[in-house]
Structure 1
Amino acid sequence: MPPGQEGGEQVDWLAVERDLGCRLPADFRALVTVYGVGTIDERVMVLPPRSTAHESGIPSVGQMTPSAEKTAWLEHTKSTYPLWPAPGSLLCGLRMVDGNGDLWGAVYWRTTGPEPDRWPVVVWERYRPFVEFELNVTGLLVTWLSEAADIDFDQRMVFGAPHSRFIHWRTERAMRERGVDPWEYLEPLYLEANEEWEERNLVGVPRTSAAAREIESKTAR
């Protein structure tokens, strides 16, 4: 999945450290430097590394990090993690959204100790418990992008190689201003994945059912 032609962000990382009160992991800094702030397959957003709002409209690391000022999420996640900036609290790097653009989940670092590169990542998805991985953010993205075919369709976040695309926020904005849908390439991918899902889950269903006839008609076309 190559970065866009516009390249990544020019970031003053010392200023970011002063702003957030901590240093971010090296792999995330490299991700932002090479790719920039933007979105993968309209579902996974690389957040702006700052505490305040960003001109892209994508929530920043600080805005997505659960702190004493932002606790509403605790009511439905039942999180037992301490609030930022307490030791072991969660700091957010990626935001996940559903097909309507609503918050679906997030990828956090669990800030255990003074070495950011040793922080494990914690994934939260709506209606699911928090899951911790001994990976960094880019390692998790590589896993998603290389193994997306094994993800159930209902929970699919990215399609993986060779389909997935990263679109920088400036590119997305420019395309929309020209009346171009930047995510148009996803429609046939979702249609194909949906048909495969239906076929897998209709095994044993009588072929006279309406759903089975619909699959037959799609296959015939």
Structure 2
Amino acid sequence: MDSQTETEALRRILHCEWGADEQVDWTAVEAHLHTPLPADYRAFMAVYGGGCIDDLIILPPLPTGNGWQASITDDAAGFRELWSTEGGAPGVELGADRVLPWGSGCNANELGWLMTGPNPDQWPVVVWRRHGNPHWALFDCGMAEFLRRLMTAEFDECPLSDLSLWGRVGTFVHHEEQERRFHAGLDPMTGEPNPYAGMFD
């Protein structure tokens, strides 16, 4: 499927009730990152924004200013250092400057793109699995397709070293809604009363 079709397929299973248009200035993003970003990711930011699918953090491109949500910009150096220290994906000769993160979490998995050329819609997904062997793995699909196939168990095996979203559709919550719930004494992801609210302020 093309990126638009894959984005629509993801929307059919992942509800966007708690999403929000991140209102990204893509010209500023491209100037800051020195590259355009894939169309499915840009569509995701317009429908869902940055936030979490359960324990999987989806990064917005630039810092949000509220301190609650990390971003691609925030995480890029660490992701690239991990690529350098772990030797990258098997059979891939590209250096650390050719990877860019878009997600993190689910028991310390790191997700990003391998920037194989000038067309971002052709970039495959690359994942660092904390408990994987090898740690790095490459998937010939975009972000939206990867998320859909993860939650519908359409890979040969779970692509992460965590099964929490394998074959199960999670709930997306935008970072601003998470922060609002937290300050209201609610669990940021479920919206239920948080018995530990205020204990660590």
Question: TM-score normalized by structure 1?
Answer: 0.67
Deviations 1:47-84 (A, max 9, x none): 0212x57424322112222479x636744x34365122
Q: Which has the higher contact order (CA 8 A, sep 6+)?
A: 2
Count of equivalent residues: 170
Report if the CA contact (8 A) 2:19-2:173 is conserved. Answer: no
Partner of residue 153, structure 2: 147
SS at 2:57's partner residue? strand
Alpha carbons of 1:184 and 1:11: their partners in 2 closer, same or farther (altered >3 Å)? Answer: closer
1:60 — aligned with what? 71
The residue aligned with 1:196 is none
Could you tell me how far 1:111 is from its partner in structure 2? 0.5
Q: Which runs of 5 or more residues in structure 1 are unaligned?
A: 99-103, 187-221
1:176 maps to 2:177: no
Partners of 1:54 and 1:60 within 8 A in 2: no
Gaps of 5+ in 2: 1-13, 193-201
Higher-Rg member (1/2): 1
1:185 and 1:173 map into 2 onto residues whose CA distance is: 11
Distance 1:141 1:36 in 2: 15
Q: Secondary structure at the match of 1:4?
A: coil
Q: 1:121 to 1:182 in 2, by over 3 A?
A: same
1:155 is displaced (CA, Å) by 2.0
TM-score (norm 2): 0.73
Alignment of 1:85-104 (within 5 A): 89-98=98-107, 104=108
**What is the RMSD of the two structures over their aligned residues, measured on CA atoms?**
2.9
User: How far has the Cα of 1:112 moved from its partner?
Assistant: 0.8
Match of 1:44 among 45, 53, 56: 56
Separation of aligned partners in 2, 1:26 and 1:132: 19
